[in-house]
Structure 1
């Protein structure tokens, strides 16, 4: 696969983009007289073996190769399958507008930035993307990171330090756990989505503070939750959390990677879904790798909160900045989201459809909120062995793959997870999946369950 080739100085090239939007070889050539020519860079990037998807989706023992971008149909080992595995919620990976915008940016800026944001790594498209995200979320300011996982993992230790206290839902994702670990703060876990248990911990801390008011004045207190939990597909009770915030004087950090671009009339997440004033949330973070079909993540909130990360967010200060072409792609994805807010309702309707279609599958139970775009199928009755449970679920995934339905096992770092979720098959919903494809997948899973779990 050719990515770069030598350009003959006397060869005439057409530097313009094709009118029909096709990403042809000619469409990515540089102007005549330049020494090097980029050839199908975007396609080459997408056609590279998706090792991360191999590891997460199908485990360590099976090697699969992908020959097409992870759109709603994907070619796995030469076989075209309906994709229920990739987090391409709004189908924007398939958007010609997004591809052409990324291609145009690639020709203008090159592949990377070769520096962190504070060291010659800030491009105009970074500033534009931050401005657009802040405007979209209706906050004062936004900051972008070059890697989605590093976003909340950098934001937490930027504010919470040794001696501070963080109240965290026990189902919090791994990136939150790493952020807590880096903060060296005192962490108190409450039962998943249990507001009574959270208030119990807050009351205990209030009593402890009364014993030493002087010390209490310098201790910062945070609540860290997810909007839609990736490990459970449950929706956080945000209105109740806001009440506890003001009652016990704590700050709320909200991780919205699974709810941004999904919930709310305009896709702004759980604050819009519940009608909560976004100013009641101290920090919102999300990655751009699900709804926006790009790479990286962002935080948004009040200016003084966001500005602090520009000198204290480790992933911002010490990592090369987001490649400009990916920033441009995210901007174009935002344009599409703003132009067609009806797409969020379509996605939520399909989430409900998938959730309903999978109900009653023999031997399996559907875990998660019906509005979640990535739900979990768990064994109704565990074998008592995690290894054996995983083997049964993997057999269902393999059975489905043979019948051209691509599913994924939820994968975890078993020895490092604070609270290890039960084994499950993760079923991902996108706007591109048709009713017929959803019914076909549900029927295939039912057949597999009857055959394997009998």
Structure 2
């Protein structure tokens, strides 16, 4: 019977089966009879040889070698509050450098509320929100922010940078897709990196380029509808871009959201407390229903003159961050005195909405004044509170351009006008912006201040950019 079965298999089996089986049998025979590999005898070092080798060994540097006096470590030291007037390196200056847009940093009402909170709660919290770090003043601030922004709920973070950097990876994971503007700020970029999602960049404020990417993704989804059903897609933009000082085309973005079924995350650190009749940001500026935006984030370190940040939106969206927002779950909560200061700043914003119109007019005035400076190009829109002055003609070297602009900043500083260079981590930035001087406008600046700054910037540009 066995002989018949073998003969039957041999006759009926395909030829390639027989060849494959023959090769496997030969390989097994070779393995069985091949010689085992033997390690060569190792040479044992003497104690003296070991000591010599250890002495000769040089470890690789932990970080790149820098010069003894690197320019980025030469800090300008501030003494006193960085408000309308600022003292830098012992010299009193008009402040065109701090993001104190509404002039609330040194406001007496805000300081008194912070001081009363300091006496009541102490300096800090020494614990995250989930571990005895939630104070009644935190809950009050979240409630007030949600009410101010006309959303269901808000969540606060103790560090502005960590707000959007924590929010993005809380929702978008590996396998999801994020469409991002090339001019997105560094905190957004770190959030993208932490999410491990597929990132697709579109040209700055170019809705045609964004729609091209969305159409391409739609075609990909049609090829694999099963995967498309579980893949989340997001658009991440800034309301008012810190690196370009221009506003996002939000109405067109909302149209694309519904057309291609994606979610919108809106970062409003530069537009919150600045744009809109009541300072609610770019949604109010364009008259967009805030419910059309899936998540809004902003820091409280600019218009509110406090520390930290917040996200707001629908309750089920915000509550998810309380369990998965890394900056919320693992950082000590916001010091109560800073939360109290932010609440009082909101009170002032609600009591006097005219301050937003005043700020807008000041921005337009400074924008007009800064045009036509020889050798410098003004970047931004008329109602942006933080504008950029870039070189009209680059030297071809980023370091040289930075040095030229630094010389202009130093020239103005010596004469009592505080400006600042826009700083970037060039090796970390996906699309590093050109070097620039940042000029920040606040409601406290007078016509005399603006003319003084303009005069010295023009003098410096004429002397240095020949």
TM-score norm. by structure 2 comes to 0.84
Asked if 1:354 is matched to 2:362, the reply is no
Q: Distance in 1 between matches of 2:71 and 2:389?
A: 17
Paired residue for 2:463? 451
Paired residue for 2:323? 311
Asked if 1:198 is matched to 2:222, the reply is no
How far has the Cα of 1:61 moved from its partner? 5.0
Structure 1 unaligned residues grouped into runs of 5+: 1-57
Q: Distance in 2 between matches of 1:382 and 1:240?
A: 34
Q: Distance in 1 between matches of 2:228 and 2:158?
A: 36
Asked if 1:116 is matched to 2:116, the reply is no
Q: Distance in 2 between matches of 1:197 and 1:450?
A: 39
Residue deviations 1:139-195 (CA, integer Å, cap 9, x gap): 000000000000000000000000000000010000000000000000000000000
What secondary structure, in the 3-state scheme, does the structure 2 residue paired with 1:252 have? strand
Asked if 1:323 is matched to 2:323, the reply is no
Structure 2 unaligned residues grouped into runs of 5+: 1-69
Paired residue for 1:281? 293
Larger Rg computed on CA atoms: 2
How far has the Cα of 1:63 moved from its partner? 3.4
Paired residue for 1:302? 314
Asked if 1:441 is matched to 2:457, the reply is no
Paired residue for 1:231? 243
What secondary structure, in the 3-state scheme, does the structure 1 residue paired with 2:346 have? helix
What secondary structure, in the 3-state scheme, does the structure 1 residue paired with 2:132 have? coil
Asked if 1:178 is matched to 2:190, the reply is yes
Aligned length: 397
- 1:19-58 alignment runs, 5 A limit: none
Q: Distance in 2 between matches of 1:182 and 1:78?
A: 41
Paired residue for 1:271? 283
How far has the Cα of 1:64 moved from its partner? 2.5
Q: Distance in 2 between matches of 1:236 and 1:288?
A: 20
Q: Distance in 1 between matches of 2:139 and 2:75?
A: 40
TM-score norm. by structure 1 comes to 0.87
Q: Distance in 2 between matches of 1:317 and 1:59?
A: 36
Asked if 1:411 is matched to 2:420, the reply is no
Q: Over aligned residues, Cα RMSD in angstroms?
A: 0.9
Paired residue for 2:344? 332
Paired residue for 2:143? 131
Paired residue for 2:173? 161
Asked if 1:391 is matched to 2:415, the reply is no
